[in-house]
Structures are given as structure tokens and as C-alpha cells.
A and B are shown apart, each in its own frame.
Chain A
């Protein structure tokens, strides 16, 4: 290792991410941020002080050895950095872009106590992009162990689990309901934030591990979970179907045409390329678009609307900017690009003209009171504050409920809200059936879903008798310590009985 770094000796300023100017990017689906150069990456890597406690690794849902890969960048060994990343994540180019680093690894970075934290996500993306450009693969030739695993859903959780099981030597088949794999990476996150080529390249790495994907195959309808186990000979099943039953507000006028869920809007644009003249999928591009909600999905819908040519795009959110659940960068980019924010505003009715077309959203202003059960301050309507906001398209982005198909068609236990019941390692009420991602936790992030996929893979390996102690996905220092011995350090391996 090079000379010891301290807060005083490292570059004080965080290396800025090269970003297209707002005026240029707002009319194109080209990616907003263009990524670190080698020089940027080397400089930013100099900012890690290799603190002994590594809180960043603990803050990562998949437990990436963050100082480890940064050290490799510092040493000029990008391929080595890729190898360190590949031990924990298969999708660094995706996660470097879409993870909420500011509330995970970067939130606990020791440098961040004094200066801006190390730009971990940007460094991860740098290595991931380089790996795609250079064609590096992490595919070790696994020795087949004869076990067959079915994964339901080709989104982040399913891909992560599939990759881990394939690397352990299992024969893995992913069943995907849509005609393209990727889940939210394909239908939800827009191109200007996550280019399609990046998703395709990362997906190719999963296929390179020997994972087979069956598209157009909806589990619960084409086959049941029981059939996968009993008739089709899969030894274990991982269910990661996503949440995806969009919530609506339940206010008058919501059934009007041109009121649509963010899922529908984004699916039409991303999965079905509605904006492309070659595509047959219709989309009505509004002149004035009002998006209700202020999470990442809302930001994606608003910024997509701007790029489609809508003249005025507004965010209507019942709480204030401080409570906005979107990733900080997405919110900043939306503001720069000209989205108008109506904070502390709640819709009460969607109004139509004589022809039945949407013309406005009637809203009330809100005041913040005491914190509620979620810890956020409760928003309460201000009497007499009703007003109208003009809009001809309204996009509802207030979250999702559990998709009911598995509840209707399997014996898996669900909770009162319809989500699948699974323990911390993804075990469901049925032996050999594991679950993770949004269908268990409700809507969360890509990396949390990947973490669930990797956690379930570890439990699945144990179930199949393939446990390797170092495959524990989440490193929680001290969590498994008994009698002063960390059980994860056990110097033995369980051998599967034949």
C-alpha cells in the first residue's frame, strides 16, 4: 500500500461527475452523466483513506469490498478492481448508476465526516463501464453439480440470485413474464439514466454463466410454483416477481383518459419504445404534465416527459422537499432540467373539459404537523386553500401494491397486504421455495433487490447442501459472533451428502 493517507493529505474536493448541461440533455434520451475519465477515477480513488473499520462495506446491501476495489484503481489496476467488484456484484455498471449511494455506502464513509464522502458509486460505474468496453468477464467455469434451480422474474433480484446459483454450479432457468429480461431495468428506468446497452451488456454476463432465460413465461399462470418443483424437476425455486400493482389515489376523475400510472407511462416509453416512430405502441404526449408523487419513479416520469417534448412538467407532492424520497441526484437533475415543483400540495380531484379530456388537477395546500408512524411529518390540508393546476396528462407515481397473481395461484403464505412472507434469508412458507425483492418487501431499490437475491442464493445453497461460508452476502461485523469467534470464519465447509 502507498503512504498512509489522512483527511489532510487526500484531495479535499470530491471529483465532479461529467454531466451534459441541462439545456442540451433535456431534449434527448442520451445519458445525462457521461462518466469518470481514467484521470478522474484515479484522483477520486486517492480520496479513500483505507480506514480500518470499512463502514462502507457494511452499508452496501451486497457487501462489496469497497476499499478493496478502490485500492486497485489507485494502483492503476482496473481489471483487479473489476475482480474485487465481481466477487459481490454482477452488475457494477447498473448499480454504479442507480444505487442510492448517499443513503448507503457513501452515507457512512469516514471521509464524509469531514469532507464530501468518496464518490463510491461513480468509481463503481467507472470500473463497470470499462469492463463492458474491454469485454472483461468474471465467468469462472463452474463445475456442474446436477442441481436445477428456477428463478421467477428476470429483474435485479432474480438476476443476482441466478448468477450466484450458476456460479455455484447449478443449472439455472429464469422465467420472465414480459418479452424482454431485466424487470425494472428494462421497463422502468429510462435510457437517459441507464442506457439500454449497459443493461444488455450486464445481462449478457449473466447468460455467460450458463443461465437460461425463458421470456413470455408467467409463473402462476403458465406453470404454478408447485409445478416447477413437482413436475418440472427444479430442486429449488426463487420467486422475485416484483411488486408492481400500481396504487391510485382514489380521487374523482382518476378514471379519465390521460390519467395513467407511472408504471404504464414508463413501460410504454422504455420497454415498448413508444417515442420511437418505428414502434406501434401509442402514447399521448401531454403539453402540460402533472406527476403526482416525488419518488425516483416520479422523477423518471417527469424527466421522460420533458424529453418527449412536453412544455411544462410539474411535480405535485404533499410533503416538502425535505421529505422527498427520491435519490438526491435525481431531484437535482429534475430541478436543473426545469421541472416545476409544487411542494406541500395534494390533489383532491382531476377535472375534465366538456369533451372528457383532462384539463386540470384540483389541489389543496398542506401543512406539516407532528411526525407520523413513518417518522415523516404528517401533512395536513390547509382549509380554504383549494386551487387548480392546469394539466392535460396526469401521471400517478405514488407507489405500488403487491401483485396478486401468486397469492391467487400458489400455496405460499402472504401477509395482510399480499406480500409474500419470507424470513431474512428469503425462506418462504414452502420448503425449497425462496423469495425476495419487491414482492417480499414492497417497493425498494435495485440494489436492495439484488441484496435479497444474493441472500436467498446463500440460503438456497445451504438448502441444497452447497454452503460456502464466504458466500454470505451481507457482512455485519459481529452479528454472528459467538464466544468471541466469528462463525463466518469457520475453517470448514459443509459437504453435500450424495
Chain B
């Protein structure tokens, strides 16, 4: 069950896992996510589905190794191994429409989950403009894959080492200046989504963001993933994860994401120490 069939390391911190789960691959739709456990004592973590293929019977996850669980996955999830748990697809699928001009913005790792949405819009007959942002050229991934579903792919890097120098909001403005944009989909770090929503607010262009709060079960049972949307409490797992970016309270989201920072740091230190001990023994 849940066997890793392909793995690709994009950088020292980001990697791709293609995992076999034919039923999930068949059920998945753009915008949905899965809950993953690396081992029996592990945390349940939500990860957005970066790609899925009913033919191959697999789903693809792109992961950034930042905490204990993702570092553990980076070390242990090699081809031929299996994840302990993989449940989904969770959340409501993104709303896909044809005949529109849509800008799909992906910041850093957010490029992965926005890709199937861009592809679905393209397949539905919409024109897709891609905007992707990375710190530098070494971190770029999926340029060809993403580019193949876009009319134009605008690459932004913080240091100008590839594409235009600037943030994704600069790329978004460039797209808005040159295309009759009907809709924007932005996925990435909360602060990036916040500024994308601010960029389109004045023009009133419908802007969808995919939020990523802390989650336990992913099925609507715990309420840990609650987000403020238009002054109302919504649960990301069953009411989202896509929400109207002009209504999401991003400051609240950012504050809530820091909820377990001390515990997360302690877990990471503990894990690092254990790893060092193991390395020393070996």
C-alpha cells in the first residue's frame, strides 16, 4: 500500500514523491489534498496533490523538508518504500471553468499544487497565464511541465538569476497589464497569497487562494484548521481549501500557523540529535 514509485530531488530541501494508490488517483481532482503519515507514531500532515494520473494509478506530492515529519520523509521515503498512511482526496475540488483568461500563480513550492489547476483550466478551454516565483534559478522546478499548459509562463526570481527580477506580484501585474484577466488562482506561502489578493483587489478580479492551516484529521472533526473568511469561521478541510482571497484574513492564518512553533522546533532538535547519534554509531 502507498508505495513510492518515483522520487526526484529538486534541491537540497525540495523533493517529489510519486505514490501508488489507484483509487485515490482516480478520485483526485485539482485543488484537493491528502493526509500523510510517515510512520505509526507520526503526525498526520496535509499535503496538496501536485499531480495525479488515473492511468498510472499514482498521485504526486512535492514536499519541502522543513519540519521533523518532512525531513523524515526526505530521508526515508525512497523508491520501493511505503508511506504508513495516505488518506484522501480531502477538501473540495477547485472550480474549473472554460472560456476565461486565468492567471495561475505559484510561489515556491506552490507551483506544484497550482499546476493541476492550470492544466484543468486549459483542458476546459480557458487561456492560462502562468506566474511562478522562486528565490533563485537553482530552485526552479517543473518549468517545462507547467509551461506546457500555459499560453505564457512568467518566471520571477528574487535575485533575477532567471526570468524577471521581482516577486510573483510583479509577474501578476505584468500579466494583468497584457491580458484581459478574468480570474486569478494563487497558491504559495500565506504572505504571498495575501499580496496577490491585494494586487487584484482594486480591479475586483476574482482571486482564489488555497489555504494551508494546521490540521489533525482532515475530515472536519477537529476544527484546528479554522480560517476566518469574510468574518466567518470556516474549516479549511471541508469548507475549503479554496477560498475567495479578498475575504480571507491572512494575518489570522499566519498567526495560527505559528501555533506549535516551539513544539515543532523541539521535535526537530530532538530528531536532529537522534540522527546525529545514529550517524555517530554507524
Please report A residues at the B interface, Cβ cutoff 8 Å.
177-179, 187, 215-218, 221-223, 242, 244-246, 248, 250, 254-255, 257-258, 260-261, 263-264, 267-268, 272-273, 276, 278-284, 356, 403-405, 408
B43 contacts A255, CB within 8 Å? no
Contact with B44, one of A221, A255, A272, A276 (Cβ below 8 angstroms): A272
Q: With CB as the reference atom, state the residue of chain A lying closest to B89.
A: A221
B223 contacts A403, CB within 8 Å? no
Given contacts A222-B23, A263-B222, contact A284 B89 (CB under 8 A): no
Q: With CB as the reference atom, state the residue of chain B lying closest to A403.
A: B220
Given contacts A245-B238, A257-B258, A405-B219, contact A221 B27 (CB under 8 A): yes
Q: How far is the CA of A417 from the CA of B176 in the complex (A)?
A: 42
If A221-B27, A221-B89, A255-B228 are given as contacts, then 14 extra A-B residue pairs at C-beta distance below 8 Å, sorted by A number, are A177-B87, A187-B217, A187-B221, A218-B88, A222-B23, A222-B27, A245-B235, A255-B226, A257-B256, A260-B223, A263-B221, A264-B222, A405-B220, A408-B92
B252 contacts A267, CB within 8 Å? no
Interchain Cβ contacts under 8 Å between A and B, 21 examples = A178-B87, A178-B219, A179-B37, A179-B44, A223-B23, A244-B220, A244-B221, A248-B226, A255-B252, A255-B256, A260-B224, A261-B223, A267-B217, A272-B44, A276-B41, A282-B263, A282-B264, A284-B260, A403-B220, A403-B238, A405-B220
Query: How far, in Å, is A398 (CB) from chain B's closest CB?
Result: 11
B43 contacts A281, CB within 8 Å? yes
Q: How far is the CA of A264 from the CA of B239 in the complex (A)?
A: 17
Q: With CB as the reference atom, state the residue of chain A lying closest to B252.
A: A255
Q: With CB as the reference atom, state the residue of chain A lying closest to B219.
A: A177
Q: Which 8 pairs show the lowest CB-CB distances between chains A and B?
A: A282-B263, A264-B222, A216-B87, A282-B260, A257-B259, A244-B221, A261-B223, A179-B85
A221 contacts B88, CB within 8 Å? yes
Q: How far is the CA of A268 from the CA of B259 in the complex (A)?
A: 14
Given contacts A221-B89, A268-B216, contact A246 B222 (CB under 8 A): yes
Contact bitstring B1-29, A, C-beta under 8 A = 1, else 0: 00000000000000000000001100100
Q: How far is the CA of A273 from the CA of B263 in the complex (A)?
A: 15
B255 contacts A261, CB within 8 Å? no
Q: How far is the CA of A263 from the CA of B41 in the complex (A)?
A: 19
Determine whether B86 belongs to the interface, using a CB cutoff of 8 Å to chain A: yes
A264 contacts B43, CB within 8 Å? no
Contact with B41, one of A178, A246, A280 (Cβ below 8 angstroms): A280
Q: With CB as the reference atom, state the residue of chain A lying closest to B92.
A: A408
Determine whether B90 belongs to the interface, using a CB cutoff of 8 Å to chain A: yes
Q: How far is the CA of A178 from the CA of B220 in the complex (A)?
A: 12
Query: How far, in Å, is A29 (CB) from chain B's closest CB?
Result: 16
B233 contacts A248, CB within 8 Å? yes
Contact bitstring B72-89, A, C-beta under 8 A = 1, else 0: 000000000000111111
A218 contacts B90, CB within 8 Å? yes
B90 contacts A264, CB within 8 Å? no
B43 contacts A403, CB within 8 Å? no
Given contacts A177-B87, A255-B252, A405-B238, contact A245 B220 (CB under 8 A): yes
A254 contacts B89, CB within 8 Å? no
Query: How far, in Å, is A113 (CB) from chain B's closest CB?
Result: 42
Query: How far, in Å, is A258 (CB) from chain B's closest CB?
Result: 8
Query: How far, in Å, is A312 (CB) from chain B's closest CB?
Result: 21
Q: A residues within 8 A CB of B23?
A: 222-223
Q: How far is the CA of A498 from the CA of B260 in the complex (A)?
A: 59
B233 contacts A218, CB within 8 Å? no
